[in-house]
């Protein structure tokens, strides 16, 4: 078969490559993990047949995220947050004119599938997670995970043997005994990622934790798993299905990491069946967002000091600056709170950068602020208003911030793990009027 | 069909992918430049047949330079300079166990091939250049190539067509109607360099000027050039006219790539490479020469007294050794209160001069430094000689306290990279013929 034409779309200054195949009634986006190359994927016969079958009942959209395959590369010493990669996804949806699509994710691609579905339910008709990767590190609340030593040891091994047949057989064990298949697979992996790039991305993944996002996914979801795949423990994958409200779990035999491994026909059948059952749901009114609260430090004293007229001028300067920064970081301005603002962001990294940036921009005016951040589900209400417990939590988190500080909940920290941000532990707090104990973190100024 | 095994070797912190194909008596190393992917080139039948033919009489070594194909990426603010590419080439030859190879450079890869052959004549049995160029933009003394504004409009076009089938008809017009060829080549381009990387690299090569290194190439050289749109035949003629004894072959085709050529072109290369197996005496090589000198050393020595001065000089010498080693240079000798060192790349020499200045400041020592790239003679022991050494020494004398001064040759060779220069005008250098354009290298 002749593969579909490859095209590029731009994300800022970068290029992202994509392909479209088929003209079925539903848009289906294939979100690979870090190993992907839309040009060379067609060289693997089972992969090509798998994609053709998907395209027989959908309009199949394929792309390489930045840093993989044929798309522009990323700096290995400063890996981006998920938001950057979600920008790639959004740009490809826009370039292909897709308003609403189902997402078929593989392995670490599941991280963005989850985040995108929770943040943009209106653009997500269904979420199909194959061997999803949400948390690999073991902890008290993730006893099925691996220890950091085990992850490091595995990464070291992979770094040394990346691109060899042996390493490829670890990802897709069913290929191991067929010399021609394993040779082609190793070549595909090499064309996806260079060893240094693979190593950097695997290290990055070890710290990511997306479990807090699971309850906010409100789109029809199917979690698929090959029972004997050993890179993510089975209990961790089952907990993904349990964590997403109403998600279905399908376990199939085998131990390959990618859906196009052995027995892929059954997986395609499951996908086709699931998608044909998906009905267009109601317009969603609950979405995942990162909420930013800010507040001017010592506002009463300041107001008394400078007098009414000057204070009013300072406040309007504050509002102007805050709105401009929120817009710059593509947030949504919700309201002012007298001497602060509320805004929501679809990515936690941009919310953090915005908080720091508002603080810096107000300094020349002699205004100091405190800021609080939390990521959670919000309700979209009449007008531009928002509601929900997450909004209260963000307001309480802000109250814990000292002058000039940006404090966030653990959820925010987990979502930007591995990126440019560093944090100082602020211990566990009770937040007024909010149940449970909350682990808070100070975001260090960059 | 040949399905070579890909291996990796590490240069600096990056993994470089390479392959070795065939087991002929001669090593041939192919330098593809930024359009390089050693995995997918085998999926392009027109190119694969060229490699298969070369590998039938040689041991063919292929690699992807940093930033291209299946080797590690580079951040966009760090260009894959031809100096780096030369380094990658040398590391791959080491990894492949090749003592001496014929270097086959295509298009931008030819720049690194030229620098390598001039710097390591003992490791280059022959130099073969396919549609190479020494400079891509016009200059008052170089009417060949693209006017800078033409080149900019070309980049705007690449931006839209890189890796897409429209580009193939510009690159290899005779194959524009061959759907299989067009698809294979577009795919090869896409998997070699993403559009952002390709554009950044082309912008970098816009500034490079390797003309001054051509006379230093002493290995048997074959220059092949076609009447293509991108490089033009004149660029090849220029190279052949300036490399001593180079042979020029004009190829009657409007296509740019080797893939579009009849297979007989490989026979031409084979005849040349196998016919030039005499060993070249490696007593003259291209190098960048660095001289440094302590500013006001006499006064300093008088002020400090003999013992203290001797201690300071010992620390000074230690610092010299460390910094030269860090940039893979060779310390030829320390001369009283200065030194003479050589480097295989001009960028490394500049970085060394700056690092030395900074490191010695902590000892309260200020130095002046001078740099020139040219041919040096390797003499008995570790000594070196030649006019280039004298020039570097004279260039240093033009440097003020704390300054790093270089000749135009050095500046041209690192053009487009991280360094910035201040024009210091034209000088006569004592005992050296001609007028010399000098530059101060700004501190990074």
The beta-carbon neighbor of B195 closest among A8, A163, A194 is A8
Say whether both B218 and B325 belong to one domain: no
Express each pLDDT in B282-300 by its tens digit.
678 899 999 999 999 888 8
Distance CA A98, CA B266 (A): 49
Say whether both B151 and B208 belong to one domain: yes
Say whether both B101 and B54 belong to one domain: yes
pLDDT at B79: 63
**pLDDT band of A279, cuts 50, 70, 90:** low
Express each pLDDT in B369-393 by its tens digit.
999 999 898 888 788 888 899 999 9
| Tokens, residue A197 | 């790039």
pLDDT at A201: 83
Last residue of a domain, one of B251, B274, B297: B274
Lowest mean pLDDT among A188-192, A227-231, A440-444, B75-79: B75-79
Q: What angle do CA B228, B250, B205 make, to 5 degrees?
A: 45
Are residues B163 and A72, on separate chains, in Cβ contact within 8 Å? no
**pLDDT band of B76, cuts 50, 70, 90:** low
Distance CA B206, CA B211 (A): 14
Express each pLDDT in B387-441 by its tens digit.
899 999 999 999 999 999 999 999 988 887 778 999 999 999 888 888 999 999 9
User: How many C-beta atoms surround the C-beta of residue A356 within 10 A?
Assistant: 18
Q: What mean pLDDT comes out for the span B198-207?
A: 87
Contact B87, B110 (CB under 8 A): no
| Gap from A73 CA to chain B (nearest CA, Å) | 6
pLDDT at A445: 85
Q: Touching check for A194 and chain B: CB below 8 Å?
A: yes
Are residues A77 and B75, on separate chains, in Cβ contact within 8 Å? yes
- Which range of A53-62, A147-156, A206-215 scores highest in mean pLDDT? It is A53-62
Contacts of A15 (CB under 8 A, 6+ apart): A8, A9, A71, A72, B194, B195, B196
pLDDT at A222: 97
CATH of the domain at B224: 3.40.50.1820
- Asked if residue B279 belongs to a domain, the reply is no
Give the chain B residue whose CA is nearest to the CA of A6. B164
A contacts of B72 (beta carbons < 8 Å): 76, 194-197
Q: DSSP states of A390-432 as a string?
A: HHHHHHHHHHT--TT-EEEEHHHHHHTTTSS--EEEEEEEE-T
Are residues A6 and B43, on separate chains, in Cβ contact within 8 Å? no
- Asked if residue B1 belongs to a domain, the reply is no
Are residues A73 and B163, on separate chains, in Cβ contact within 8 Å? no
Residue, of A31 and A25, whose pLDDT is higher: A31
The beta-carbon neighbor of A73 closest among B8, B164, B194 is B194
Interface A–B counts its CB contacts (< 8 A) at 86
| Tokens, residue B96 | 């492949």
Containing domain of residue B328, as a range? 284-443
Interface of A with B in 160-189 (CB under 8 A): 162-163, 183, 187
pLDDT at B80: 66
Number of domains forming the structure of chain B? 2
Express each pLDDT in B212-229 by its tens digit.
999 999 999 999 999 999
Give the chain A residue whose CA is nearest to the CA of B69. A191
| Complex ipTM value | 0.79
pLDDT at B200: 87
Q: What mean pLDDT comes out for the span B116-137?
A: 95
- Asked if residue B151 belongs to a domain, the reply is yes
Are residues A194 and B70, on separate chains, in Cβ contact within 8 Å? yes
The beta-carbon neighbor of B39 closest among A15, A77, A191 is A191
Lowest mean pLDDT among A136-150, A207-221, A303-317, B43-57: A136-150
| DSSP H helices in B130-194 | 148-161, 165-171, 179-192
A10, containing H or E segment: strand A7-11
Distance CA B356, CA B343 (A): 14
Distance CA B192, CA B69 (A): 4
Residue, of A418 and B344, whose pLDDT is higher: B344
Last residue of a domain, one of B227, B255, B274: B274
**pLDDT band of A254, cuts 50, 70, 90:** very high
pLDDT at B78: 63
| Tokens, residue B31 | 């330098």
Are residues B190 and A6, on separate chains, in Cβ contact within 8 Å? yes
Say whether both B309 and B433 belong to one domain: yes
| Tokens, residue B347 | 């960028």
Distance CA A281, CA A275 (A): 13
Distance CA A256, CA A268 (A): 15
Could you tell me what percentage of chain A is helix, strand and coil, using 3-state DSSP and rounding each to the nearest 5?
40, 25, 35
Express each pLDDT in B83-112 by its tens digit.
888 989 999 999 999 999 999 999 999 999
Distance CA A71, CA A16 (A): 5
Are residues B196 and A14, on separate chains, in Cβ contact within 8 Å? yes
**pLDDT band of B82, cuts 50, 70, 90:** confident
| Tokens, residue A317 | 């300067």
Say whether both B172 and B199 belong to one domain: yes
pLDDT at A83: 78
Lowest mean pLDDT among B28-32, B259-263, B327-331: B327-331
Q: Touching check for B40 and chain A: CB below 8 Å?
A: yes
Assign A228 to helix, strand or coil.
Answer: coil
**pLDDT band of A443, cuts 50, 70, 90:** very high
- Asked if residue B296 belongs to a domain, the reply is yes
Q: If 0-12 CB within 10 Å is exposed, 13-18 middle and 19+ buried, where does residue A154 land?
A: middle
Distances (CA, A) of A147 to A140, A154, A156, A208, A413: 11, 11, 14, 14, 20
Are residues A190 and B70, on separate chains, in Cβ contact within 8 Å? yes
| Tokens, residue B129 | 């250049």
A contacts of B187 (beta carbons < 8 Å): 6, 39
User: How many C-beta atoms surround the C-beta of residue A227 within 10 A?
Assistant: 11
| Tokens, residue B411 | 């500046």
Query: Tokens 């300079």 correspond to what residue?
Result: B81
Express each pLDDT in A61-81 by its tens digit.
999 999 999 999 887 777 777
pLDDT above 90 for A372: yes
| Tokens, residue B414 | 């690192």
- Asked if residue B215 belongs to a domain, the reply is yes
pLDDT above 80 for A1: no
pLDDT at A284: 64
pLDDT above 70 for B77: no
B contacts of A194 (beta carbons < 8 Å): 15, 17, 70-73
Q: What angle do CA A30, A36, A39 make, to 5 degrees?
A: 90
Distance CA B4, CA B22 (A): 9
Express each pLDDT in B241-253 by its tens digit.
999 999 999 999 9
Distances (CA, A) of A353 to A27, A331, A343, A440: 33, 11, 13, 18
Are residues A163 and B6, on separate chains, in Cβ contact within 8 Å? yes
Q: Touching check for B195 and chain A: CB below 8 Å?
A: yes
Say whether both B265 and B358 belong to one domain: no
**pLDDT band of A154, cuts 50, 70, 90:** confident
Contact B413, B134 (CB under 8 A): no
Percent over 70 (pLDDT), chain B: 97
Are residues A39 and B190, on separate chains, in Cβ contact within 8 Å? yes
Are residues B191 and A37, on separate chains, in Cβ contact within 8 Å? yes
pTM, two decimal places:
0.81
Say whether both B197 and B324 belong to one domain: no
Express each pLDDT in A336-371 by its tens digit.
988 899 999 988 999 999 999 999 999 988 899 999
pLDDT above 80 for A263: yes
Say whether both B327 and B268 belong to one domain: no
CATH of the domain at B330: 3.30.70.1230
Residue from A41, A64, A73 to probe the interface with B (highest B Cβ count within 10 Å)? A73
Q: What is the mean pLDDT of chain A?
A: 90
- Asked if residue B247 belongs to a domain, the reply is yes
Tell me whether strands B14-21 and B404-407 are parallel, antiparallel or unpaired: unpaired
- Asked if residue B2 belongs to a domain, the reply is no
- Asked if residue B439 belongs to a domain, the reply is yes
pLDDT at A283: 56
Say whether both B117 and B218 belong to one domain: yes
B contacts of A198 (beta carbons < 8 Å): none
User: How many C-beta atoms surround the C-beta of residue B173 within 10 A?
Assistant: 16
Q: Touching check for A18 and chain B: CB below 8 Å?
A: no
Q: What is the DSSP letter of B148?
A: H
Say whether both B348 and B384 belong to one domain: yes
Contact B388, B374 (CB under 8 A): yes
Say whether both B165 and B224 belong to one domain: yes
Distance CA A104, CA A110 (A): 8
Residue, of A274 and A209, whose pLDDT is higher: A274
pLDDT at B287: 92
Distance CA B357, CA B291 (A): 12
Say whether both B270 and B292 belong to one domain: no
Interface of A with B in 318-377 (CB under 8 A): none
Last residue of a domain, one of B256, B274, B292: B274
| Gap from B213 CA to chain A (nearest CA, Å) | 32
| Gap from B38 CA to chain A (nearest CA, Å) | 9
The beta-carbon neighbor of A70 closest among B74, B75, B190 is B190
pLDDT at B23: 92
Distances (CA, A) of B173 to B169, B177, B180, B228: 4, 9, 14, 9
pLDDT above 70 for B280: no
pLDDT at B337: 87
pLDDT above 80 for B281: no
Distance CA A99, CA B66 (A): 38
**pLDDT band of A130, cuts 50, 70, 90:** very high
| Tokens, residue B160 | 């839209």
Are residues A191 and B37, on separate chains, in Cβ contact within 8 Å? yes
A contacts of B9 (beta carbons < 8 Å): none
């Amino acid at each position: 078969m002749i593969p579909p034409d490859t095209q590029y779309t731009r994300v800022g200054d970068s290029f992202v490559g994509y392909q479209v195949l088929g003209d079925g009634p539903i848009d289906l986006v294939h979100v690979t993990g870090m190993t992907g190359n839309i040009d060379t994927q067609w060289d693997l016969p089972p992969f090509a047949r798998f994609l053709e079958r998907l395209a027989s009942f959908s309009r199949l959209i394929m792309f390489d995220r930045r840093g993989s395959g044929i798309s522009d590369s990323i700096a290995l010493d400063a890996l981006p947050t998920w938001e950057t990669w979600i920008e790639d996804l959004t740009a490809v949806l826009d370039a292909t004119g897709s308003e609403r699509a189902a997402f078929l994710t593989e392995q670490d691609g599941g991280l963005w599938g989850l985040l995108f579905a929770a943040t943009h339910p209106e653009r997500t008709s269904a979420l199909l997670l194959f061997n999803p990767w949400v948390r690999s590190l073991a902890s008290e609340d993730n006893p099925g995970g691996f220890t950091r030593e085990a992850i490091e040891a595995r990464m070291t091994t992979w770094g040394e043997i990346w691109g060899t047949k042996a390493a490829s057989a670890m990802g897709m064990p069913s290929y191991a005994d067929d010399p021609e298949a394993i040779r082609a697979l190793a070549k595909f992996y090499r064309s996806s990622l260079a060893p240094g790039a693979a190593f950097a991305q695997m290290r990055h993944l070890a710290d990511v934790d997306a479990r807090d996002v699971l309850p906010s996914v409100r789109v029809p979801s199917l979690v698929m798993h090959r029972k004997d795949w050993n890179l993510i423990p089975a209990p961790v994958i089952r907990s993904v299905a349990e964590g997403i409200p109403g998600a279905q779990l399908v376990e199939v035999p085998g131990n390959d990491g990618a859906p196009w491994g052995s027995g892929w026909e059954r997986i395609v059948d499951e996908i086709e069946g699931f998608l044909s059952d998906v009905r267009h749901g109601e317009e969603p009114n609950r979405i995942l967002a990162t909420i930013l609260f800010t507040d001017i430090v010592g506002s009463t004293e300041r107001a008394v000091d400078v007098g009414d007229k000057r204070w009013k001028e300072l406040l309007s300067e504050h509002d102007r600056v805050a709105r401009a920064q929120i817009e710059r970081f593509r947030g949504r301005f919700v309201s002012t709170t007298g001497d602060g603002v509320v805004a929501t962001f679809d990515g936690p990294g941009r919310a953090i950068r915005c908080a720091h940036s508002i603080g810096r921009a107000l300094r020349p005016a002699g205004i100091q602020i405190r800021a609080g951040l939390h990521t959670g589900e919000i309700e979209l209400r009449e007008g531009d208003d928002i509601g929900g417990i997450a909004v209260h939590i963000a307001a309480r988190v802000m109250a814990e911030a000292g002058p000039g500080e940006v404090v966030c909940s653990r959820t925010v920290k987990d979502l930007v793990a591995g990126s440019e941000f560093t944090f100082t532990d602020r211990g566990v707090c009770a937040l007024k009027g909010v149940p449970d104990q909350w682990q808070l973190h100070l975001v260090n100024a960059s | 069909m040949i399905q070579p095994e890909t291996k990796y070797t590490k240069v600096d912190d990056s993994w470089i992918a390479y392959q070795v194909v065939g087991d002929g008596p001669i090593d041939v190393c192919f330098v593809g430049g930024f359009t390089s992917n050693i995995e997918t080139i085998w999926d392009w039948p027109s190119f694969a047949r060229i490699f298969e033919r070369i590998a039938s009489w040689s041991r063919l070594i292929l690699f992807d330079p940093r930033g291209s194909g299946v080797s590690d990426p580079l951040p966009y603010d760090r260009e894959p300079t031809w100096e780096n590419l030369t380094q990658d080439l040398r590391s791959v030859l080491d990894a492949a166990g090749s003592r001496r190879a014929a270097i086959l450079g295509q298009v931008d890869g030819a720049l690194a091939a030229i620098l390598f052959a001039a710097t390591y004549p003992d490791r280059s049995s022959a130099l073969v250049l396919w549609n190479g160029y020494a400079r891509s933009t016009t200059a008052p003394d170089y009417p060949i190539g693209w006017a800078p504004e033409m080149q900019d409009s070309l980049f705007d076009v690449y931006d839209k067509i890189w890796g897409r089938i429209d580009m193939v008809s510009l690159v290899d017009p005779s194959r524009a109607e061959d759907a299989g060829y067009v698809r294979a080549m577009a795919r090869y381009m896409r998997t070699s360099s993403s559009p952002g990387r390709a554009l950044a690299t082309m912008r970098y090569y816009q500034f490079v000027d390797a003309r001054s290194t051509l006379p230093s190439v002493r290995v048997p050289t074959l220059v092949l050039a076609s009447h293509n749109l991108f490089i033009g035949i004149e660029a090849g003629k220029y190279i052949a006219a300036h490399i001593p004894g180079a042979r020029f072959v004009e190829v009657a085709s409007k296509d740019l790539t080797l893939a579009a050529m009849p297979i007989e072109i490989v026979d031409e290369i084979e005849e040349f490479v196998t016919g030039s197996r005499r060993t070249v005496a490696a007593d003259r090589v291209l190098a960048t020469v660095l001289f440094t000198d302590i500013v006001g050393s006499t006064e300093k020595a008088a002020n400090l007294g003999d013992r203290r001065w001797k201690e300071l000089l010992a620390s000074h010498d230690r610092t010299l050794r460390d910094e030269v080693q860090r940039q893979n240079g060779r310390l030829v000798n320390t001369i009283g209160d200065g030194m003479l060192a050589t480097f295989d790349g001009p960028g490394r020499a500049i970085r060394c001069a700056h690092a030395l200045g900074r490191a010695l400041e902590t000892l309260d020592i200020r130095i002046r430094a001078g740099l020139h790239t040219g041919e040096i003679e390797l003499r008995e022991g570790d000594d070196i000689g030649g006019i280039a050494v004298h020039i570097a020494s004279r260039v240093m004398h033009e440097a003020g306290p704390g300054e790093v001064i270089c000749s135009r040759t050095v500046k041209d060779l690192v053009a487009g990279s991280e360094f910035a220069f201040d024009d210091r005008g034209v000088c006569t250098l004592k005992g050296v013929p001609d007028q010399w354009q000098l530059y101060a290298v700004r501190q990074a």
